[in-house]
């Protein structure tokens, strides 16, 4: 027997065995780590990734659903609108062109337009500034109810058009009327549960803080009822949480959730183009 060759074979065999055992050890260790992570509660994982709930204002514990009707504008609604030429499209949209452009200083925070809305727009005091749409150079306002914002509602908004000099030249408006709360109040999800749900859906990054939680309303469904004279389109709106998240890099994003059943709303998919409203109205007819 060639002892030198035999020894070499044994060394190779034991080396392969050692590598195999090392592989099994690493595999077992990784599996145990995964099991540990899987055993962690959402609360523990939030703490592990430094996701925190900031000092939030007192929030509602219960709220009612809301019923509202699409408002169909009449020519009499436009008679007191000064300094503009206003018309009605499809009964649902006021389209107005200002006689003289109105300059604003900061499209991101157009405080000077508050008086304009109150004085020159039909029930303009019931709307609140939402955002500056830089792509379309528009200021977007959402209608409110009892200080609650009606989030992303095509039937309850104003789109103010600016020119290249940041001057207001026109606007389009829709409006919800006969807003009425349902008798029975619904229990709302607590702030901690809202945060944990967003985190479980991978919508919150590590080292982030929930800095604000605000209750508003979002459309649950639309229905049409027929009266003796005309068809009446109505909406049922559900209480909806808007949670503001401040990320590690200083950026912020807003997340929306049905405050009653926990459904998460992706507002990036909502179409707020008034042309869509006209198409929907034609389809309903």
Q: Are strands 231-246 and 209-226 parallel, antiparallel or unpaired?
A: antiparallel
Q: Specify the domain boundaries for CATH 3.30.310.160 within the chain.
A: 71-177
Average pLDDT of span 86-108: 93
Q: How far is CA 221 from CA 67, 155, 234, in A?
A: 10, 13, 9
Average pLDDT of span 251-257: 94
| 169 and 101 Cβ atoms separated by less than 8 Å | yes
Whole-model pTM: value is 0.81
Proportion of the chain above pLDDT 70, given as a percent: 80
| 24 and 31 Cβ atoms separated by less than 8 Å | no
CA–CA gap between residue 268 and residue 255 (Å, rounded): 10
Question: Which listed CATH number (2.40.30, 1.10.357, 3.40.1130, 2.40.128) goes with 54-66+179-284?
Answer: 2.40.128
pLDDT digits (tens, 9 = 90+) for 204-247: 999 999 999 999 999 999 987 766 666 678 999 999 999 999 99
Q: Specify the domain boundaries for CATH 2.40.128 within the chain.
A: 54-66+179-284
The Cβ of residue 194 has, within 10 Å, a number of other Cβ atoms equal to 23
Q: Are strands 52-53 and 138-145 parallel, antiparallel or unpaired?
A: unpaired
Output the CATH code of domain 71-177.
3.30.310.160
């Amino acid at each position: 027997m060639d002892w030198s060759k035999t020894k070499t074979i044994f060394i190779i065999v034991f080396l392969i065995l050692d590598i195999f055992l090392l592989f099994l050890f690493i595999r077992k260790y990784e599996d145990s780590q995964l099991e540990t992570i899987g055993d962690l509660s959402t609360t523990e994982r939030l703490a592990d990734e430094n996701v925190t709930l900031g000092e939030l204002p007192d929030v509602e514990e219960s709220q009612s659903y809301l019923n509202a009707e699409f408002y169909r504008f009449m020519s009499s609604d436009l008679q007191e609108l000064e300094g503009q030429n206003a018309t009605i499209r499809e009964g649902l949209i006021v389209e107005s062109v200002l006689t003289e452009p109105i300059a604003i200083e900061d499209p991101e925070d157009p405080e000077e337009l508050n008086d304009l809305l109150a004085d020159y727009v039909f029930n303009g005091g019931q709307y609140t500034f939402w955002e500056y749409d830089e792509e379309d150079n528009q200021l977007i306002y959402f209608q409110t109810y009892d200080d609650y914002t009606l989030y992303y509602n095509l039937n309850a908004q104003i789109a103010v058009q600016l020119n290249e000099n940041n001057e207001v030249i026109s606007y389009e408006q829709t409006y919800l009327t006969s807003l009425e709360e349902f008798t029975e109040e619904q229990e709302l999800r607590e702030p901690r549960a809202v945060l944990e749900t967003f985190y479980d859906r991978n919508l919150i990054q590590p080292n982030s803080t929930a800095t604000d939680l605000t209750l508003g309303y979002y459309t649950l469904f639309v229905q049409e009822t027929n009266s003796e004279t005309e068809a009446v389109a109505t909406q049922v709106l559900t209480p909806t949480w808007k949670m503001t998240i401040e990320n590690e890099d200083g950026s912020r994003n807003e997340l929306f959730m049905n405050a009653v059943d926990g459904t998460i709303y992706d507002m990036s998919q909502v179409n707020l183009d008034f042309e869509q409203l006209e198409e929907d109205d034609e389809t309903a007819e």
